[in-house]
Structure 1
Amino acid sequence: MNSSPVTLLASGNSLGAYIPAIHLYTYLQGRNVCTDIHVLENLYHKEVRLKIRSTKEAFHADFSVARMGHKLAKPVDSSLDEEAVLRLLHGWKQAGVFRFVVFTGFWIPILERYKQEADDSLDIQLIRLDAWDTPSFKVHKQLYPGYDNVWLYESSKLSPSSYIASDDVEPLPYAQRAGRILIHGGGWGIGTYASTISELRRLGYGLDVIVYDPSEVDEDDGITRYFGTKPSWDPWSRDALGRHTFPPMVRYVRIGGVLREFPFEDYSAYTDLMRNCAAIISKPGGATLNDSLSHGIPFVMLEPFGDHELHNSAYWESCGFGIQFAEWKAQDFSKHHLERIYRRLLEQRSKINHFGEEYLCSRKQQLRLTK
């Protein structure tokens, strides 16, 4: 397996199609598997990339605009720089790349072109981190059935098949957790998450809020903590060593109107913060479902963004892994109910393996069969 590189295809437009890919990259690299990762936006025309930030700001400012944008999703072909695409395809062919793990359907037209050029059959898995078609797959509904679609959350089976994380560390026992609530709006900071903050603060909950913009940080009250990604960072950028990385996280503290920033040493500090929380409150995005299962975190779900998140919400609730915010509120924000959800998550988590482990085992078996 080590002699057969694995190429991960991600997108920075949605952190839900980026963070799980970086988790898998970290996991495979930690097991000495030669792994490469490409982010789709690096194939865009520069002016298209520049517009992404303004689109994100518009979606963050108005959830109705975000929902409308979701409905208007279309293939990204017109955004692609043909020279960049040709360089990538040529590089893959020269290197004999044939193993792919794909996190967004927008890569499918490029893979269709590579199929025509590749000398050997390709091993391509489309990772479906939602319980329904996301826009990137929906716009390629005629093509994706020809691929190996790996659904982590099959609607017909109320039992997720696997999870994706940087490691395979067991969830922290609930009694050992700090009891804080993590609140965020996904990678684009969208949804109704901000409206829950003041209500829970009045009840005395310790909150860890992931803000989209530092201007959202309130004056320090000694209980509520604020975090975020460095505003200058983009998922399609690379570090000084040419690598794609996890978002650089920062803790924000505003005292006397003055905002101070305290950078995290690395992303594992944020992962530890997640593992230690009593629940996540957010819209039901696929990457947050994965966080919930990976770390045994009860999911309090807000209004969904699009049909795929509507199905995610129904699926997670049917599995017993989450609860609607309105229902949790009707139960007087019961901590005992959250703990029951944790136990259900832990039970399911004990029955399944890390996707990376499943992937490596299946590839080793294929290798033995071909000898």
Structure 2
Amino acid sequence: MNSSSVTLLASGNSLGAYIPAMHLHTYLQGRGVGTDVHVLENLYHEEVRHKIRSTKKAFHADFSVARMGHKLAKPVDSSLDEESVQRLLEGWKQAGVSRFAVFTGFWLPILERYKAASGSPLDIRLIRLDAWDTPSFKVHKQLYPGYDNVWFYNPSELSPDGYIASDEAEPLPYAQRSGRILIHGGGWGIGTYAGTITELRKLGHSLDVIVYDPSEVEEDDGVTRYFGTEPSWDPWSRDAQGRHTFPPMVRYVREDGVLQEYPLGDYSAYTDLMRNCAAVISKPGGATLNDSLSYGIPFVMLEPFGDHELHNLTYWESCGFGIRFAEWKARDFSENHLEGIYRRLLEQRSKINHFGRITYAAENSSYV
């Protein structure tokens, strides 16, 4: 790796700190910018990593447990395997790694050590895809002011100034979309999204549901479609070539009680679902805000998870890019209202550039 390459520091603890990193990786690779993706959990003690699945299951099963876990967030130092950290730091120093895009604050203590050891100027940008501190940044409030914080959603300016996607394709015109509604609970499948499915099915809406577990898939009704991440995949896993990948997505169909699985192949099959949908229904996570802006998707927002998502909801609502589910329901699930939101998103999207273009892919990219 040379000094012009970009090291992307992600986390598998939240797909919101993983998927945008993978989008940026894909975008930059396609423009000849070298990248290297590191996932924090690969530095954990093995037994700690093994506990993550049970924690995710508990959070999915009970939203109140998830909210409590959010409040108890703390630095991950005790989870780190020192030999793995030392090996990583030495590898960076030997390779002269100097540019970083950081998607979770839990990397900050490791970066502090690298800053002290590197002996050369570093370009470290903290990618803030929420309108408020997430737990990973909040626990390092004494450290992050010393870095270049790239706030995509500055509450004092109701106009996001960038987005992250695998490409720069324009949003699909609303009239050309499938009219389907995408419903999910984020990477951990948490929140109140499940309760909206039955209500909207009864009203005849065409739904694409991202399930956390295949057991959530209902009998096929010919209208509702179910998708999910291949259950054995973890964000910290690497493929046969040693690379991190987007989650392999699967379509599920249950007929006469028998569940069938149909791999979607490339992750672009999932982004095509997003490009084509009339709206997304989910909790207001930062990565979903980014999807909303990237693809011009009206965001119907459910109960937030933590203070940062409450600020996200307020921000997106204030920008006119989303609506609370309860309000959309009060408007009789108006499609015209959704199209009005789409037009506002499209107008904003036309004024801004891809973060990778303006920061890394442009000629004469400057250091901070």
Same fold judged by TM-score > 0.5?
yes
Q: Superposition pairs for residues 167-206 of structure 1, below 5 Å? A: 167-206=167-206
Is 1:66 paired with 2:53? no
Is 1:321 paired with 2:321? yes
1:130 is paired with a residue of what secondary structure? coil
2:121 is paired with a residue of what secondary structure? coil
1:291-337 Cα offsets, whole Å, 9 max, x none, are 00000000000000000000000000000000000000000000000
1:10-40 Cα offsets, whole Å, 9 max, x none, are 0001000000000000000000111101000
**CA–CA separation in structure 1 for the residues paired with 2:270 and 2:221:** 21
2:280 is paired with a residue of what secondary structure? strand
Q: Does the 8 Å CA contact 1:233/1:248 hold for their aligned counterparts? A: yes
Q: Does the 8 Å CA contact 1:137/1:144 hold for their aligned counterparts? A: yes
**CA–CA separation in structure 2 for the residues paired with 1:21 and 1:92:** 19
Q: Does the 8 Å CA contact 2:164/2:354 hold for their aligned counterparts? A: yes
Which residue of 2 is the match for residue 251 of structure 1? 251
1:208 is paired with a residue of what secondary structure? strand
Which residue of 2 is the match for residue 212 of structure 1? 212
Which residue of 2 is the match for residue 121 of structure 1? 121
**CA–CA separation in structure 2 for the residues paired with 1:14 and 1:359:** 24
Q: Does the 8 Å CA contact 2:179/2:277 hold for their aligned counterparts? A: yes
RMSD, aligned α-carbons: 1.3
Q: Does the 8 Å CA contact 2:164/2:294 hold for their aligned counterparts? A: yes
1:97 is paired with a residue of what secondary structure? coil
Which residue of 1 is the match for residue 223 of structure 2? 223
**CA–CA separation in structure 2 for the residues paired with 1:308 and 1:362:** 31
Q: Does the 8 Å CA contact 2:128/2:149 hold for their aligned counterparts? A: yes
TM-score, normalised relative to structure 1: 0.98
Is 1:50 paired with 2:50? yes
**CA–CA separation in structure 1 for the residues paired with 2:286 and 2:366:** 29
1:158-195 Cα offsets, whole Å, 9 max, x none, are 00010000000000000000100000000000000000
**CA–CA separation in structure 2 for the residues paired with 1:140 and 1:105:** 7
Q: Does the 8 Å CA contact 2:300/2:322 hold for their aligned counterparts? A: yes
**CA–CA separation in structure 2 for the residues paired with 1:82 and 1:360:** 31
Which residue of 2 is the match for residue 99 of structure 1? 99
**CA–CA separation in structure 2 for the residues paired with 1:146 and 1:228:** 39
Count of matched residue pairs: 368
1:366 is paired with a residue of what secondary structure? coil
Q: Does the 8 Å CA contact 1:3/1:34 hold for their aligned counterparts? A: no
* Percentage identity across paired residues of the two chains: 82
Which residue of 1 is the match for residue 346 of structure 2? 346
**CA–CA separation in structure 2 for the residues paired with 1:223 and 1:168:** 31
Q: Which runs of 5+ in 1 are unaligned?
A: none
**CA–CA separation in structure 1 for the residues paired with 2:327 and 2:115:** 48
Report the alpha carbon displacement of residue 121 of structure 1 after superposing the two structures with TM: 1.1
1:227-260 Cα offsets, whole Å, 9 max, x none, are 0000000000000111000000000000000000
**CA–CA separation in structure 1 for the residues paired with 2:308 and 2:298:** 20
Q: Does the 8 Å CA contact 2:284/2:302 hold for their aligned counterparts? A: yes
Is 1:15 paired with 2:35? no
Q: Does the 8 Å CA contact 1:274/1:295 hold for their aligned counterparts? A: yes
**CA–CA separation in structure 2 for the residues paired with 1:121 and 1:113:** 14
Report the alpha carbon displacement of residue 4 of structure 1 after superposing the two structures with TM: 1.1
**CA–CA separation in structure 2 for the residues paired with 1:365 and 1:233:** 35
Report the alpha carbon displacement of residue 366 of structure 1 after superposing the two structures with TM: 2.4
2:251 is paired with a residue of what secondary structure? strand
Residue identity opposite 2:110 in structure 1: I
2:364 is paired with a residue of what secondary structure? helix
Which residue of 1 is the match for residue 238 of structure 2? 238
Q: Does the 8 Å CA contact 1:283/1:304 hold for their aligned counterparts? A: yes
Q: Does the 8 Å CA contact 1:2/1:32 hold for their aligned counterparts? A: no
Q: Does the 8 Å CA contact 1:129/1:286 hold for their aligned counterparts? A: yes
1:4 is paired with a residue of what secondary structure? coil
Report the alpha carbon displacement of residue 365 of structure 1 after superposing the two structures with TM: 4.2
Residue identity opposite 1:128 in structure 2: R
Q: Superposition pairs for residues 289-304 of structure 1, below 5 Å? A: 289-304=289-304
**CA–CA separation in structure 1 for the residues paired with 2:214 and 2:317:** 32
